[in-house]
């Protein structure tokens, strides 16, 4: 009889059962809602605020992986043998970090529900850095070793002098202004903007426009599906340009003195443009007039430039995308 006076005895198990059913149901609904792009009704109660500045010892060439789900992340190289992080966290995100002097992993995690995360991470300048971002815009400056930035939906901006840069964003834009021996850049829909002195580059997009404006172009391979391609600059003696696109247009612009072995082919599209000579007695070349049409394919194979000058290869293949070459105006030539 007394047990009836203690209601928890009777309802404790059903309460737990009901709560667990509701929790499972709510998380499932929330997952489905998130999957379909709606705002979840339930939000974690994490207070937004400024993170305390934290730091770790790190070797000069430590491997460091940084995560940033949303907001902005600035990764900056500095002259100290340590890593520090500071900034502001959005509600719903929390901070984590740890590792050894040779390997660290840090950043923010969780799902932002309000506010905006803004993090500044300082790392040794020669550290090997990997960044993974959900929707966060990432900027990397002052690093000299290898940089690997991958973002699902954020913009990526990398600048400085680095050994090698790998940058990728599925839907964001990539801005890479570096002096580097190797650059790998990939985007799906975002714009790809590359500048600097690059010995070797492999640039890939699906629909995103791709602009390479380099002081000196080494070996460059470009692949797109229907993104427009624009390449401006001087090709190194040992360099080459290889462009393959399907529906995208291709615009190439070289200095007047540039020598090159052109191998251009466009299916269901035209080849055009005019190359104007400045020195060496080269006359203007109307490429449209020089192109040969066979069936639905237009092609042009020709060596341009002053006689005796190096002629790095320029190969372009398109399906439906027109090809146009022109001479860079003197005042707009990269590196001037």
Partner 1 sequence: MSRHAPHTPHDNGPDPQLRAALDALPEERTPPADSWSHLQRTIATMPPAGAPQVRTRRTRVRWAAQAALAASLVVTLSVLANRSIRQASPDPLADLSDDERRDPRVLALVAQTRNWHAAAHDSARSARWPMAARAAVDGAIESTNRELGSARAALARDPSDVSAREAIDTLRERQRALLQHAMALLDDI
Site string for partner 1, 83-122 (x = CB under 8 A): ----------------------------x-----------
Q: Closest approach of Cβ 257 to partner 1, in Å? A: 33
Pairing of strands 297-304, 292-294: antiparallel
Indicate whether 28 belongs to the interface with partner 1 (CB under 8 A): yes
221, 288, 320, 322: which one contacts partner 1 (CB under 8 A)? Answer: 320
- Taking the least distance from each CB to partner 1, the nearer of 123 and 156 is 156
The long-range contacts involving 103-106, CB below 8 angstroms and separated by at least 24 positions, are 103/62, 103/63, 103/64, 104/56, 104/58, 104/62, 104/63, 104/64, 104/65, 105/64, 105/65, 105/66, 105/67, 106/56, 106/64, 106/65, 106/66, 106/67
CB 178 within 8 A of CB 198: yes
- Taking the least distance from each CB to partner 1, the nearer of 7 and 335 is 7
Indicate whether 39 belongs to the interface with partner 1 (CB under 8 A): no
Q: Report the alpha-carbon distance of residue 35 to residue 57 in Å, rounded.
A: 40
3-class DSSP state for residue 244? strand
Q: Report the alpha-carbon distance of residue 307 to residue 328 in Å, rounded.
A: 19
Of 88-96, 139-147, 186-194, 328-336, the segment contacting partner 1 by CB under 8 A is 186-194
3-class DSSP state for residue 288? helix
Residue for token pair 């400024």:
50
Measure CA of the first residue to CA of the last residue in the chain; give whole Å.
Answer: 96
84, 144, 188, 213: which one contacts partner 1 (CB under 8 A)? Answer: 188
Name residues contacting partner 1, limited to 226-255 (CB under 8 A). Answer: 226, 244, 246-247
Indicate whether 150 belongs to the interface with partner 1 (CB under 8 A): yes
Residues that contact partner 1, how many (by CB under 8 A): 54
- Taking the least distance from each CB to partner 1, the nearer of 230 and 268 is 268
CB 156 within 8 A of CB 167: yes
Q: Closest approach of Cβ 191 to partner 1, in Å? A: 12
**Burial (CB count within 10 angstroms: exposed 0-12, middle 13-18, buried 19+), residue 10:** exposed
18, 94, 100, 276: which one contacts partner 1 (CB under 8 A)? Answer: 18
Indicate whether 11 belongs to the interface with partner 1 (CB under 8 A): yes
105, 132, 288, 322: which one contacts partner 1 (CB under 8 A)? Answer: 132
Instruction: Classify 195 in phi/psi space as left (phi over 0), alpha (psi -120 to 50) or beta.
Output: beta
- Taking the least distance from each CB to partner 1, the nearer of 238 and 296 is 296
H or E element at residue 17: helix 7-35
35, 47, 284, 307: which one contacts partner 1 (CB under 8 A)? Answer: 35
CB 330 within 8 A of CB 278: yes
Q: Report the alpha-carbon distance of residue 71 to residue 137 in Å, rounded.
A: 6
Indicate whether 170 belongs to the interface with partner 1 (CB under 8 A): yes
101, 164, 211, 225: which one contacts partner 1 (CB under 8 A)? Answer: 225
Of 74-82, 250-258, 261-269, 327-335, the segment contacting partner 1 by CB under 8 A is 261-269
Write out the residues near partner 1 by the rule CB under 8 A.
1-2, 4-5, 10-11, 14, 17-18, 21-22, 25, 28-29, 31-32, 34-37, 67, 69, 111, 132-135, 150-153, 168, 170-172, 186, 188-190, 206-207, 223, 225-226, 244, 246-247, 265, 267-268, 296-297, 319-320
């Amino acid at each position: 009889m007394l047990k009836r006076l203690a209601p928890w005895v009777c309802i404790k198990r059903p309460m737990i059962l009901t709560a667990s059913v509701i929790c499972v149901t709510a998380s499932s609904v929330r997952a489905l809602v998130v999957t379909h792009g709606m705002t979840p009704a339930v939000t974690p109660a994490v207070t937004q605020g400024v993170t305390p500045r934290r730091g770790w010892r790190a070797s000069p060439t430590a491997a460091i992986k940084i995560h940033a789900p949303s907001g902005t992340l600035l990764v900056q190289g500095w002259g100290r043998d340590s890593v520090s992080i500071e900034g502001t966290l959005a509600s719903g995100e929390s901070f984590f970090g740890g590792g050894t002097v040779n390997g660290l992993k840090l950043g923010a995690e969780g799902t932002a529900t309000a506010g905006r995360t803004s993090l500044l991470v300082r790392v040794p300048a020669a550290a090997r850095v990997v960044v993974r971002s959900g929707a966060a815009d990432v900027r990397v400056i002052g690093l000299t070793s290898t940089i690997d930035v991958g973002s699902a939906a954020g913009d990526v901006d990398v600048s400085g002098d680095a050994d090698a840069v790998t940058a990728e964003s599925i839907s964001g834009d990539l801005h890479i202004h570096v002096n580097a021996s190797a650059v790998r850049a990939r985007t799906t829909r975002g714009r790809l903007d590359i500048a600097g002195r690059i010995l070797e580059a492999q640039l890939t997009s699906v629909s995103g426009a791709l602009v390479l404006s380099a002081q000196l172009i080494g070996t460059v391979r470009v692949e797109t599906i229907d993104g427009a391609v624009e390449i401006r600059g001087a090709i190194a003696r040992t360099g080459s340009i290889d462009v393959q696109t399907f529906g995208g247009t291709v615009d190439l612009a070289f200095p007047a003195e540039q020598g090159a072995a052109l191998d251009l082919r466009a299916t269901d599209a035209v080849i055009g443009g005019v190359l104007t000579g400045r020195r060496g007695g080269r006359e203007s070349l109307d490429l449209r007039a020089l192109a040969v049409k066979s069936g639905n394919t237009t092609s042009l194979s020709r060596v341009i430039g002053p006689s005796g000058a190096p002629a790095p290869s320029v190969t372009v293949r398109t399906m439906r995308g027109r090809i146009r070459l022109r001479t860079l105006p003197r005042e707009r030539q990269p590196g001037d």
